[in-house]
Amino acid sequence: MKHPVGKHYEMDMTSGSLLPKILTFAIPLMISGILQLLFNAADIVIAGRFAASADRAIAAVGSTSSIVNLLVSLFIGMSVGVNVLAARFFATKQVKEMQETVHTAVALSLAGGIIMILVGELLCHQILVWVDSPEDVIGLSTIYLRIYFLGMPMTLLYNFGNAIHQAIGDTRTPLLCLSLAGIINVTLNLLFVIVFHMDVAGVALATILSQTISAIMLARSLINGEEIYRLDIKKIRFYPDKLKRILQFGIPAGLQSAVFSISNVLIQSSVNSFGSVVMAGNAAAANLEGFVYIAMNSIYQTCISFVGQNYGVKNFKRINTVLYTCLATVTVIGLVLGILFNLGGPLLLSIYTTRQETIRYGMTRLLYISLPYCICGCMDTICGAVRGMGRSILPMIVSLFGSCVFRVIWVLAVFPQFRSIETLYISYPISWAMTALLHYLCFRLILRGVMQREQQTA
């Protein structure tokens, strides 16, 4: 009996009305992202409520996110390469090429996960030292990271499997997998922390176990899927030409994420210099802010898949419509959620902590970063359109200079002159606006060049 994944969940992105299809694709993706984010949210909430030292536990779990993103960003970038390549092969119905892409992607995720285990176990404590993690937090943060990285093969397997499903237009199967895993995560969190008193070790263990379940379920859906993207365990290996193309698309995306993460780690280091109370407020607000980002990021991923399929069948005029529809959608989502999270900030932050000073620092971050977050959504969406057309080096360079280099200069030059938490936070919306403008100029130039070459060929 076949798994529900298949033609019922597939989507033709190259014809028909765009907005309904974009929303049909993006909403399950959005919910999936929120559920995935709830893994970390459950960690922070339960650690803050039931761990022996609440503020230290929140700071220990929350302050590790930028480090995790730094270490895994290169491989997560590879999943973008899988999405772009698979979307093209699926749109043009190239069965052999698609199957080789699927099996190479799974092999890459498992190999990458093993590498991440080694890197995480060897370097996590030293990285925490480099980012000036306070002495009262660094021990707990090290425990959390070392356990968390043991689950990296399954985390990457889920992300690569998710990229394949997105390429064929199926965002509902990953949602079903994460729904069950999310319930298991919260249940295990409560069991390990309240019953077994495992504190941060318990929340880390609960997270990797639930992620393993979601990864296995998603892999099973590919094993039972349609022929063009069906996974055969015996065929899992690296196909050199597909690996090369995934790396061509994925490495620049991964390096871009890594450089972003380096700038965020640098900012986290500056936040750490204000002490554990500010760290706790920053971590709680960043976790809330993540829900806004995930909602907007679903449009970025939607844009990559839609542009990728249309580029594969040379439907270049529709690419324009895809981008503008996605930009309008992400702007509305970002503005609405940014305003709501600021209005409800005190109540939402009280879920994480009851300490008023911690809540006050959390509100500062929400005001400066969450409220103008729609600018970040537009920046990412335009970048997604460029990536969907197979350009990966250019958006990496633009993002490197437009956001990352700017933030590093800001932290090293401006922050010491005006040393406050507000000075750190304001660097985000400024860098987003600059980078969005540069990405848009690149998109116009690339699409115009592609269309002119196609007209000359015709």
Helix (H/G/I), strand (E/B), else coil: 283: helix
Give the dihedral of Cα atoms 322, 382, 26, 257; nearest 10 deg.
150
Which parts of the chain have pLDDT scores under 70? 1-10, 36, 38-42, 48-56, 62-63, 65-66, 69-71, 131, 261, 458
Predicted TM-score (pTM) of this structure:
0.76
CA 406 to chain centre: 22
**CA-based angle 160:165:167, to the nearest 5?**
95
- What are the extents of the domains in the chain? 18-448
Look at residue 7 in the predicted model and tell me its pLDDT. Answer: 46
Q: How far apart are CA 181 and CA 379, in angstroms?
A: 31
Cα gap 181→187, rounded to integer Å: 10
Instruction: Give the pLDDT of residue 3.
Output: 42
**Cβ neighbours of residue 70 closer than 8 Å, sequence gap 6 or more:** 127, 258, 261, 262, 264, 265
- Which stretches within 313-420 are classed as H helix? 316-343, 345-349, 356-365, 373-388, 393-399, 406-409
pLDDT tens for 347-387 read: 988 887 778 888 888 888 899 988 899 999 999 999 999 98
Is the separation of the CB atoms in 224 and 81 below 8 Å? no
Residue 5 tokens, joined? 């994944």
- Predicted local confidence at residue 41, as pLDDT: 67
> Using CA atoms, how far apart are residues 37 and 296, in angstroms rounded to an integer?
13
Residue from 83, 91, 93, 88 nearest 304 by CA: 83
Distance CA(56)–CA(136), nearest Å, equals: 7
Q: What does the pLDDT read at residue 39?
A: 66
Q: Any idea how long the chain is?
A: 458
- Contact (CB, 8 A) for 151 and 212: yes
- The three-class DSSP label of residue 79 is helix
Q: What sign for the dihedral angle of Cα 41, 47, 49, 55?
A: negative
* Res 256: pLDDT: 75
Asked whether 145 and 124 are in contact (CB, 8 A), the reply is yes
